[in-house]
């Protein structure tokens, strides 16, 4: 029987990554010179599982590396070594190395071993350098040493030495095994007859059972075993094979294994004075176990009867074996309650369907009422099912948050700052894809807050604050959105510094007047970095604009709220899912388009006095205090509209980032939820279009991508117009 172990790899990788997270979080809690037994045990278990799994599934290098990690953890666990900062750092580093090793292996690449080899060496040096405290028991790394009958080793060792070479010549002798089990051997689940069965599988056996230890009936304990055996084993057998059979019972039983050469007269010495019952056996010897053994273990008989021989039909084997799993497949772990609720929902749907089916089969107008009720129920079922299916893709944000304790610790150390991280709302759920994509922007923003926001302890004390700064990550649901806040209690963003920078870079004019809020938001502008000195953490000027762009790609927004001296709050708002969108349908000629409802500010009929033209080509409308450029969608998509005149039809004002634009359309239709179908996979990427959907009547409508439209029309022109007027 050969089983393809690669089918288990995916699960192994997943649980190993989880294990690494557990290790990392645990290590961050450990403090030098203290003993936190629960935490150390948790870390140890995680490392141990990774090592075990790696060994089992054929990732020897991971297993080897984890071994030294485990050794150190085991010393911590058994308190033979005190927890030190160096040790914690080494262990944290090992988490990184393991993560990258597993990453490579999962991707099917040959991992680069330089790092792991070097770190392993550091571990070994560390383990060797400071001797563990006294009384250290042997570390579990010792190779397996056969524990075979140390009490009797004198004879057996000699016997091996004398005979192991000649054993193969079976005609010259045989093994004589004396086996006196402990009386309670069956209470450990070890059955002597199974051991005898195994011996008989090695070669031809002659077994003698001795019954003289059986006590008188009144004192006989039915759960004890009073028999013992002498087995002569003929055949090409190594002593190790015999030892292996007795491996589990050797410590409680008296076992002697002797090589008797045929010239030896010992054969005749079989203790003839005792009550001897002789059983001759060949290969199938213990098919009938010794009678006494059964008596000693009455419950066993019953069990044996219940046990049908395990017949394996090939059919059964086939059923039990699923097809090999594709290793590259992404998978998601879903709570069983979510699946149950979905199954429940499907049940409801089936009932509704059959009810509607009945009405439809034999319809008359008096059943109209019931038909309507049925349809309402169907609508309800569908909506509930949609919500439940969506929930399946939802995972708690703790998966992303969990990387921050380590990150914050490392960065704070590097920056020489004292920073406490608070995580709030870790169980807030969001779509798995959204979560994966928000990770990097979040990291960037957290780094920024630590680097530029929170001050050094000296600066903080001078400003009358606690030396330790606080960084809070807070997640919560709001409507159909998840909001993630990154809050620091640092120095805030000084609008005047931004202003100087922006003027210096030519983004704004010296004479322009802006609100503080407006100036602060300029940090999302490409190419603006406010750091006085560029550090290796952030402040390379390729920061917040990229972050904003990433968030916009997820159909989200990011806002800033900062107060000089008190800190900043970045607020990211993301849709809970990427596959369903609240849309506004708009009509343009014969076509229907979908606008994301969240990006719409208002829709207006433009009057002539609102309109002016910039640079002779771009139409702009004056909306309260702002100039808003207008895009003629029919030009962008080259279709024939009903109204070319901007005063007819409507202008829908939408926003993307800090830009507002007007879209000239013929008419507004309904608002509805639409399921997003990817154009990339079904057709190809189209600029200005984020996807398509199928409407109730079966027609396809394109979903517009506001940010994409902006770039078509030219962000530069828009920038110049939208910045020309202050909001103050």
Partner 1 sequence: MSKILAADDSASMRQMVTFTLKGAGFDVVEAVDGVDALQKAKAESFDLVLSDVNMPNMNGIELVKNIRALPNYKFTPILMLTTESGTDRKMAGKEAGATGWIVKPFNPEQLLNTIKRVLD
User: By the 8 A CB rule, do 435 and 399 touch?
Assistant: yes
User: What's the length of the chain?
Assistant: 728
Residue choice 30, 51, 580, 704 for contact with partner 1 (CB under 8 A): 51
Binding piece for partner 1, criterion CB under 8 A, among 46-54, 380-388, 584-592, 620-628: 46-54
Q: Is 307 in the site for partner 1 (CB under 8 A)?
A: yes
Catalytic residue among 24, 70, 485, 521: 70
CB 291 → partner 1: shortest distance, Å? 16
Q: Where are the beta strands (DSSP E) in 479-579?
A: 481-488, 557-563, 567-575
Using rule CB under 8 A, residue 304 touches partner 1: yes
Q: Which of 5, 118, 346, 463 binds partner 1 (CB under 8 A)?
A: 5
Among 109, 110, 114, 145, binds partner 1 (CB under 8 A): 145
Shortest distance (Å) from residue 139 CB to partner 1 = 8
Q: Is 336 in the site for partner 1 (CB under 8 A)?
A: no
452 is catalytic: no
Question: Does 337 engage in binding with partner 1 (CB under 8 A)?
Answer: no
Q: Which of 110, 129, 143, 273 binds partner 1 (CB under 8 A)?
A: 143
Least distance (Å) from partner 1 to the CB of residue 131? 19
Q: Least distance in Å: CB of 232 to partner 1?
A: 22
609 Cβ neighbours under 8 A, 6+ residues apart: none
As given in the structure block, the two tokens for residue 245 are: 């059979």
Closest to 704 in 3D by CA, of 718, 726, 722, 686: 686
| Minimum CB–partner distance for residue 29 and partner 1 (Å) | 16
Q: Is 6 in the site for partner 1 (CB under 8 A)?
A: no
Out of 37, 56, 344, 613, the residue judged to bind partner 1 by CB under 8 A: 56
Closer residue to partner 1 (CB): 187 or 262:
187
Q: How far apart are CA 566 and CA 568, in angstroms?
A: 7
Annotation says 361 is catalytic: no
Stretch that binds partner 1, among 270-278, 292-300, 496-504, 715-723 (CB under 8 A): 292-300
The answer to whether 593 and 702 have CB atoms below 8 angstroms apart is yes
Residue with tokens 């009929």: 605
**Active-site annotation holder among 448, 455, 485, 664:** 448
The answer to whether residue 332 forms part of the interface with partner 1 (CB under 8 A) is no
- Tell me how far, at minimum, the Cβ of 188 lies from partner 1, in Å: 5
- Residue 48 in the binding site for partner 1 (CB under 8 A): yes
Among 188, 327, 380, 699, binds partner 1 (CB under 8 A): 188
570 binds partner 1 (CB under 8 A): no
140 binds partner 1 (CB under 8 A): yes
Residue 467: how many other CB atoms lie within 10 Å: 13
CB of 255 to partner 1, least distance (A): 15
Express the helix, strand and coil content of the chain in percent, nearest 5 each. Answer: 45, 20, 35
Q: Does 151 bind partner 1 (CB under 8 A)?
A: no
- Shortest distance in whole angstroms from residue 237 CB to partner 1: 17
Q: Which two tokens mark 444? A: 């960037």
- Per CB under 8 A, contacts with partner 1 among 206-265 are 223, 247-248, 251-252
Distance, CA of 96 to CA of 101 (rounded, Å): 9
| Contact flag: residue 138 with partner 1 (CB under 8 A) | yes
Q: Which of residues 485-544 bind partner 1 (CB under 8 A)?
A: none
Strand partners, 207: 231, 279
Exactly one of 27, 43, 53, 281 binds partner 1 (CB under 8 A); that residue is 53
Quick check: is 48 catalytic?
Answer: yes
C-alpha closest to that of 588 among 633, 629, 630:
633
Residue 191 touching partner 1 (CB under 8 A): yes
User: Could you say whether residue 200 binds partner 1 (CB under 8 A)?
Assistant: no
**Measured from the CB atom, is 49 or 603 closer to partner 1?**
49
Instruction: For 395, list phi and psi in degrees, rounded to 5.
Output: -130, 150
CB of 468 to partner 1, least distance (A): 33
Specify whether the CB–CB gap between 580 and 673 falls below 8 A: yes
Q: Which of 149, 200, 297, 448 binds partner 1 (CB under 8 A)?
A: 297
Residues 667-686 that bind partner 1 (CB under 8 A): none
Residue pair 83/76 in contact by the 8 Å Cβ criterion: yes
Task: Report residue 467: phi and psi, to 5°.
Answer: -60, -35
- Residue pair 262/173 in contact by the 8 Å Cβ criterion: yes
Per CB under 8 A, the list member of 34, 263, 265, 310 interacting with partner 1 is 310
Closest approach of Cβ 46 to partner 1, in Å?
9
Find the shortest distance in angstroms from Cβ 12 to partner 1. Answer: 4
8 A C-beta contact, residue 636 and residue 709: yes
Read off φ and ψ for residue 55, nearest 5 degrees: -65, -45
600-604 and 700-704: which strand pairing?
A: unpaired
Burial of 509 (0-12, 13-18, 19+ CB in 10 A): exposed
The tokens describing 321, both together, are: 């074996």
Sign, CA dihedral 682-688-692-698, equals negative
Instruction: Report CA-CA distances (Å) from 349 to 355, 382, 396, 674, 675.
Output: 10, 8, 28, 21, 20
Question: Looking at beta carbons only, is 55 or 480 nearer to partner 1?
Answer: 55
* The one catalytic residue among 48, 518, 525, 664: 48
Under the criterion CB under 8 A, does residue 291 sit at the interface with partner 1?
Answer: no
| DSSP assignment letter at 677 | B
Burial of residue 458 (CB within 10 Å: 0-12, 13-18, 19+) is exposed
The reply to whether 187 sits near partner 1 by the rule CB under 8 A is yes
Token couple for 151: 């009490």
Residue 303 contacts partner 1 per CB under 8 A: yes
Q: Decide: is 15 part of the binding site for partner 1 (CB under 8 A).
A: yes
Question: Residue 627 and residue 253: Cα distance in Å, rounded?
Answer: 95
Closer residue to partner 1, CB minimum distance, 5 or 155: 5
Tell me, letter by letter, the H, E, C secondary structure of 106-175: HCCCCCCCHHHHHHHHHHHHHHHHCCCCCCCCCCCCCCCCCCCCCCCHHHHHHHHHHHCCHHHCHHHEEE
Q: Is the dihedral of CA 687, 688, 693, 696 positive or negative?
A: negative
Q: Does 52 interact with partner 1 (rule: CB under 8 A)?
A: yes
Choosing from 17, 36, 45, 294, the residue that interacts with partner 1 (CB under 8 A) is: 45
Is 194 one of the binding residues for partner 1 (CB under 8 A)?
yes
223's tokens: 């759960």
Q: Are 102 and 116 within 8 A, CB to CB?
A: no
Least distance from C-beta 304 to partner 1, angstroms? 6
Check residue 11 for interaction with partner 1 (CB under 8 A): yes
Among 55, 396, 457, 480, binds partner 1 (CB under 8 A): 55
Active site members: 48, 70, 448
Site of interaction with partner 1 (CB under 8 A) = 1-3, 5, 7-9, 11-12, 14-15, 42, 44-45, 48-49, 51-53, 55-57, 63, 137-140, 142-145, 147, 186-191, 194, 198, 223, 247-248, 251-252, 297, 299-300, 303-304, 307-308, 310-312, 316-317, 320-321
């Amino acid at each position: 029987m050969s089983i393809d172990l690669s089918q288990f790899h995916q699960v192994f990788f997943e649980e190993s990554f989880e294990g690494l997270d557990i290790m990392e979080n645990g290590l961050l809690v450990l403090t030098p010179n203290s003993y936190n037994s629960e935490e150390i045990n948790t870390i140890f278990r995680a490392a141990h599982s990774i090592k075990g799994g790696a060994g089992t599934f054929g990732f020897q290098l991971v297993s080897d590396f984890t071994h030294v990690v485990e050794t150190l953890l085991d010393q911590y666990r058994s308190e033979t070594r005190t927890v030190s900062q160096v040790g914690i750092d080494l262990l944290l580093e090992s988490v990184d190395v393991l993560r990258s090793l597993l990453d490579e292996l999962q991707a099917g690449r040959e991992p680069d071993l330089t790092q792991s080899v070097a770190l392993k060496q550091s571990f070994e040096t560390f383990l060797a350098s400071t001797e563990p405290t006294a009384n250290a028991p042997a570390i579990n790394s010792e190779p397996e040493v056969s524990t075979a009958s140390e009490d009797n080793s004198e004879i057996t060792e000699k016997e091996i030495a004398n005979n192991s070479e000649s054993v193969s010549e079976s005609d010259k002798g045989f093994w004589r095994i004396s086996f006196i089990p402990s009386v309670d051997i069956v209470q450990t689940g070890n059955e002597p007859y199974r051991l005898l069965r195994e011996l008989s599988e090695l070669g031809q056996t002659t077994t003698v059972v001795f019954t003289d230890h059986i006590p008188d009936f009144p004192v006989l304990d039915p759960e004890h075993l009073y028999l013992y055996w002498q087995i002569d084993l003929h055949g090409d057998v190594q002593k190790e094979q015999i030892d292996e059979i007795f491996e589990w019972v050797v410590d409680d039983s008296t076992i002697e294994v002797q090589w008797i050469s045929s010239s030896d007269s010992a054969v005749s010495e079989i203790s003839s004075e005792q009550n001897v019952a002789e059983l001759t056996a060949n290969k199938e010897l213990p098919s009938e176990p010794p009678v006494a053994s059964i008596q000693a273990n009455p419950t066993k008989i019953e069990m044996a009867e219940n046990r049908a021989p395990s017949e394996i039909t090939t059919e059964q084997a086939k059923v039990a074996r699923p097809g090999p799993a594709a290793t590259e497949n992404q998978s998601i772990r879903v709570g069983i309650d979510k699946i149950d609720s979905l199954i429940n929902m499907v049940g409801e749907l089936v009932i509704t369907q059959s009810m509607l089916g009945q009405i439809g089969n034999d319809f008359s107008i008096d059943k109209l009422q019931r038909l309507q009720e049925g349809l309402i129920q169907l609508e309800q079922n569908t909506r509930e099912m949609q919500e439940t299916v969506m929930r399946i893709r939802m995972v708690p944000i703790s998966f992303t948050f969990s990387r921050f304790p380590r990150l914050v610790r490392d960065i704070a150390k590097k920056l020489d700052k004292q920073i406490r991280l608070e995580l709030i709302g870790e169980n807030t759920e969001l779509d798995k894809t959204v979560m994966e994509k928000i990770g990097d922007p979040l990291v960037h923003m957290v780094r920024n807050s630590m680097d530029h926001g929170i001050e050094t302890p000296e600066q903080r004390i001078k400003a009358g604050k606690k030396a330790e700064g606080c960084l809070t990550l807070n997640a919560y649901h709001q409507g159909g959105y998840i909001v993630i806040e990154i809050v620091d209690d640092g120095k805030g963003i000084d609008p005047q510094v931004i202003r100087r920078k922006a003027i210096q870079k030519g983004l704004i004019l010296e004479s322009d007047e802006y609100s503080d809020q407006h100036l602060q938001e300029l940090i999302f502008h490409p190419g603006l970095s406010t750091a006085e000195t560029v550090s290796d953490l952030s402040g390379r000027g390729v920061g917040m604009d990229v972050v904003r762009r990433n968030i916009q790609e997820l159909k989200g927004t990011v806002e800033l709220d900062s107060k000089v001296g008190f800190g900043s709050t970045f607020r990211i708002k993301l849709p809970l899912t990427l596959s369903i969108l609240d849309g506004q349908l708009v009509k343009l000629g014969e076509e229907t388009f979908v606008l994301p409802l969240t990006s719409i500010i208002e829709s207006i009929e433009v009057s002539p006095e609102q309109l002016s033209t910039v640079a002779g080509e771009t139409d702009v409308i004056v909306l309260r205090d702002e100039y808003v450029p207008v895009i003629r969608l029919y030009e962008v998509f080259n279709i024939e509209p009903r109204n070319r005149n901007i005063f007819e039809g409507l202008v829908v004002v939408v926003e993307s980032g800090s830009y507002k634009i007007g879209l000239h359309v013929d008419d507004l239709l309904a608002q509805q939820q639409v399921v997003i179908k990817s154009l990339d996979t079904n057709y190809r990427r189209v600029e200005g279009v984020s996807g398509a959907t199928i409407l109730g009547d079966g027609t396809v409508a394109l979903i517009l991508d506001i940010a994409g439209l902006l770039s078509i029309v030219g962000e530069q022109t828009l920038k110049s117009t939208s910045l020309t007027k202050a909001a103050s």
